[in-house]
Amino acid sequence: MAIYIDEKICKGCKLCIHFCPNNVFQMRNKINNKGFVIPDVVNESKCTKCKLCELTCPDLAIFVE
């Protein structure tokens, strides 16, 4: 299982953090090349592959395998 965040595309809107039912994402001061604070995948083992994050991300920056 793998969750990928395209760091170049993400704008740090936090919608994925809000919608993930299993708290897989967290903000931890990671900053991308555009200066946005972006989420980290911190609880990948809790992911149920519901794909809510993928569907919710307005910038199509998340991929769940």
**Residues making contact with ligand SF4 (CB under 6 A):** 3, 5, 10-16, 20-22, 24, 38-39, 47-53, 56-57, 59, 61-62, 64
Contact 13, 58 (CB under 8 A): yes
Q: How far is the CB of 59 from ligand SF4 (least distance, A)?
A: 4
CB atoms within 10 A of CB 2: 9
Q: How far is the CB of 26 from ligand SF4 (least distance, A)?
A: 11
Output the six-digit token pair for 33: 């090349």
User: Which amino acid belongs to residue 40?
Assistant: D
Q: How far is the CB of 29 from ligand SF4 (least distance, A)?
A: 14
